[in-house]
Structure 1
Amino acid sequence: MHCPRAFFSRCKSEAKRDVRSLDSDRLRACAPWLPALVLLTPLRIRPLFSDQISAPGPHVGFAECCSEISLRETGREGTNSPIGLSACLLNPFYWRHPVEQRSMNRVHTGLVGKPRLRGNKPSLSSDQMAQTADSEPQIYSYLRVTCGVAIHVACTAFTVFIAVLARPGSSLFSWHPFLMTLAFSLFMTEALLLFSPAASPLRSLPHKTKARWHWVLQCLCAGSAGLGLASISYNKHLNGKPHFSTWHGLTGLVSVGVLALQSTGAVPLLYPALAKRLGLSLAKLKRYHTAAGLVSYLLGSTSLLLGMASLWFTASVRGAAWYLAALGPVLCALVIMNQVTRSYMARKALRP
Structure 2
Amino acid sequence: MRPEVEYSPVGEGLGMRDFWLYAWMRRAAVIGARITALGLTLVISVLSRPGTSLFSWHPTLMSFAYCLCLTEGILVLSAEGSPFCCKSRTANVRLHWFCQALVLVAAATGVSFMVACKNLSELSHLVSWHSCLGACTVASTLLQALFGVFMIFSKLLRLSASLQRLKLYHATCGLVVYLLATVTVVLAMFSDWFQASVNRAAWWGLLLAPLFPALVVMNQITNAYLPRKKITS
The amino acid that maps onto 1:268 is F
Structure 1 match to 2:178: 297
1:236 to 85, 93, 118: 118
Name structure 1 gaps, 5 residues minimum: 1-67, 74-94, 104-131
Give, in whole Å, the separation in 2 of the partners of 1:188 and 1:301. Answer: 11
- Is 1:330 paired with 2:195? no
* Residue in structure 2 matched with residue 98 of structure 1 by the alignment: 10
Q: Which amino acid aligns with 1:286?
A: K
SS in 2 for 1:278: coil
**Identity over the aligned pairs, expressed in percent?**
35
**1:145: which partner in 2?**
27
Radius of gyration: which is bigger? 1
CA deviation profile, 1:259-311 (whole Å, cap 9, x unmatched): 01110221121234225x23331010000000000101111111111001000
The residue matched to 2:123 in structure 1 has which SS? coil
Q: Distance in 2 between matches of 1:263 and 1:309?
A: 29
CA contact (8 A) 1:202 1:210 kept: no
Structure 2: tracts of 5 or more residues without a match: none
Q: Which structure exhibits the higher relative contact order, with contacts defined as CA atoms closer than 8 Å and separated by 6 or more residues?
A: 2
The CA RMSD measured in Å over matched residues stands at 2.6
Match of 1:122 in 2: none
Higher mean C-alpha deviation, range 198-207 or range 328-337: 198-207
Answer whether contact 1:294 1:340 (CA < 8 A) is retained.
Answer: yes
The question of whether the paired residues in 2 share the 8 Å contact of 1:148 and 1:199 is answered with no
Distance across 1 between alignment mates of 2:182 and 2:72: 14
Shift of 1:202: 5.7
CA deviations 1:219-273 (Å, max 9, x no partner) are 0011111111111111111111100100000000000011011102211212342
**Using the alignment, how far apart are the partners of 2:143 and 2:227 within structure 1?**
26
What residue is the counterpart of 2:159 in the other structure?
278
Measured after TM superposition, the shift of residue 345 of structure 1 is 4.4
Rounded Cα–Cα distance in structure 2 between residues aligned with 1:159 and 1:143: 24
* 2:225 partner letter: Y
| Alignment partner, residue 311 of structure 1 | 192
Aligned to 1:154, which of 36, 43, 60? Answer: 36
Relative to structure 1, the CA distance from residue 222 to residue 165 in structure 2 (aligned partners, 3 Å threshold; closer, same or farther) is same
Question: Any residues of structure 2 matched to 1:181-200 within 5 Å, and which?
Answer: 181-198=63-80, 200=82
Query: Aligned letter for 2:113?
Result: S
Match of residue 102 from structure 2: 220
Runs of 4+ in 1 over 4 A off after TM superposition: 345-352
**Partner amino acid for 1:250?**
C
Residues 351 and 183 from structure 1, CA distance in 2 versus in 1: closer, same or farther, beyond 3 angstroms?
farther
* CA–CA distance in structure 1, aligned partners of residues 19 and 166 of structure 2: 35
